[in-house]
Amino acid sequence: MKFRFIVRRLIVTVPMVLIVITLTWGLIRLAPGNFYSTEKKLPPAIEKNIRAKYGLDKPWYVQYGRMMWNIVRLDFGNSLKYENETVNDILWRTLPVSATIGLLAYLLALVVGVLTGTLAALKPNSKLDYVSMALAMLGISLPNFVLGPILVLVFSLSLYWLPPARWNGFPSWNLVLPVLTLSAIYMAYIARLTRAGMLEVLRSDYIRTARAKGLSERQVVVRHALRGGLLPVVSFTGPALAILISGTVVVERIFAMPGLGNYFINANLNRDEPLIIGIVAFVSIAVLVFNLLVDIAYAFIDPRIRY
């Protein structure tokens, strides 16, 4: 049953990725300007040669077919801005940067968020509950393009504790501020989702039965309540983790990290169509794959769920 479910989801995934890529390609073509535009208009002969070199003089359906054929072969072609590099090379070079920052940020958010949300649910309407949920609302309300500069101002430019930017690999103190900036909003969401899920589960009959059997409160929470209470967090994990690993645009830009997000901004500014298509395809596939993994994990976390 699980195998058939996975096969059905994979069959649906392929056309969804192609639809996203098609829409992206269409929006790029509808946008005004092109990658060779300059303040001074190019002579018609030079523009004609450029269009012929990159196949832009062909009908739109020929260009679209060539682009889709390259994607089927997992070959996104050469970047228009970085002419000596292929899009695949750029993806392989930038993915470790985004993945490192994203995974560290989500692990931090998961640990702090689950712990805070669980403690708040165990003591509802207490000072701990109010303070933790107030901090969670602050984390949700404070965008990372505001939080990042604040952290740089305090810990780098005032206290001189941490370096403000750049990528020096893993492990490195340069990762601390980007990870904190990126994890704040996810930490807040996970805390609220954990609290809501735990409050519902702690009122259920099987939790009362576990307590009636004489189990300690720790056993009740860890062995029974958390499995059901974390289902909303599992649902949130799929798309959140995919977006984090594939690159967060603002944070990478603020801290000058050479990840997917930073290159995606540059690709849009430069109208680098192959690089835009390559990053969009990668992110789309990552989101769909992580969502599939989340659906599969549901059955292992909650035995009541069937495919």
Q: What is the 3-state secondary structure (H, E, C) of the chain?
A: CHHHHHHHHHHHHHHHHHHHHHHHHHHHHHCCCCCCCCCCCCCHHHHHHHHHHCCCCCCHHHHHHHHHHHHHCCCCCECCCCCCCEHHHHHHHHHHHHHHHHHHHHHHHHHHHHHHHHHHHHCCCCHHHHHHHHHHHHHHHCCHHHHHHHHHHHHHHHCCCCCCCCCCCCCCHHHHHHHHHHHHHHHHHHHHHHHHHHHHHHCCHHHHHHHHCCCCHHHHHHHHHHHHHCHHHHHHHHHHHHHHHHCCHHHHHHCCCCCHHHHHHHHHHCCCHHHHHHHHHHHHHHHHHHHHHHHHHHHHHCCCCCC
Instruction: Please give the pLDDT value at position 168.
Output: 75
CA-to-CA distance for 295 and 307, rounded, in angstroms? 9
Instruction: Please give the pLDDT value at position 121.
Output: 80
pLDDT of residue 303 exceeding 60: no
**Range ranked top by mean pLDDT from 39-43, 186-190, 294-298, 301-305:** 186-190
pLDDT of residue 306 exceeding 60: no
Percent of the chain having pLDDT more than 90? 0
Instruction: Please give the pLDDT value at position 246.
Output: 63
pTM: 0.77
Mean pLDDT of 263-292: 82
What is the domain class of 87-301 according to CATH?
mainly alpha
Mean pLDDT of 224-232: 72
Chain segment 87-106, per-residue pLDDT in tens: 888 888 888 888 888 888 88
Instruction: Please give the pLDDT value at position 291.
Output: 76
Query: Where in the chain are the domains?
Result: 87-301
Instruction: Please give the pLDDT value at position 55.
Output: 75
Interacting residues of 171 by C-beta distance below 8 A, sequence separation 6+: none
Instruction: Please give the pLDDT value at position 39.
Output: 61
Q: Hey, what long-range contacts does 20-28 have (CB within 8 A, 24 or more apart)?
A: 20/280, 20/281, 20/284, 21/68, 21/71, 21/277, 21/280, 21/281, 21/284, 22/64, 22/68, 24/276, 24/277, 24/280, 25/64, 25/67, 25/273, 25/277, 28/271, 28/273, 28/276, 28/277
Interacting residues of 253 by C-beta distance below 8 A, sequence separation 6+: 261, 262, 265
Chain segment 22-76, per-residue pLDDT in tens: 888 888 878 776 776 666 676 777 777 777 777 777 887 888 888 888 887 777 7
Mean model confidence pLDDT for the chain? 78
Instruction: Please give the pLDDT value at position 189.
Output: 85
pLDDT of residue 307 exceeding 60: no
Q: What is the pLDDT confidence band of residue 304, given thresholds at 50, 70 and 90?
A: low
Q: Which amino acid is at 21?
A: I
Q: With left for phi above 0 and alpha for psi between -120 and 50, is residue 169 left, alpha or beta?
A: left
Q: Which residues of 181-207 are buried (b: 16+ CB within 10 A; e: fewer)?
A: bbbbbbbbbbbbbbbbbbbebbeeeeb
CA dihedral 170, 175, 180, 181 (to 10 degrees): -130
Mean pLDDT of 266-271: 82
Instruction: Please give the pLDDT value at position 270.
Output: 80
Instruction: Please give the pLDDT value at position 136.
Output: 82
- Measured on CA atoms in the order 263, 264, 270, 274, is the torsion positive or negative? positive
pLDDT of residue 247 exceeding 80: no
Chain segment 131-157, per-residue pLDDT in tens: 888 888 887 787 877 888 888 888 888
> Residue 86: beta bridge partners?
78
**CA distance between the termini of the chain:** 7
Chain segment 159-171, per-residue pLDDT in tens: 888 887 777 777 7
Instruction: Please give the pLDDT value at position 2.
Output: 61
pLDDT of residue 241 exceeding 70: yes
- Measured on CA atoms in the order 53, 57, 88, 105, is the torsion positive or negative? positive
pLDDT of residue 201 exceeding 80: no
Mean pLDDT of 199-206: 73
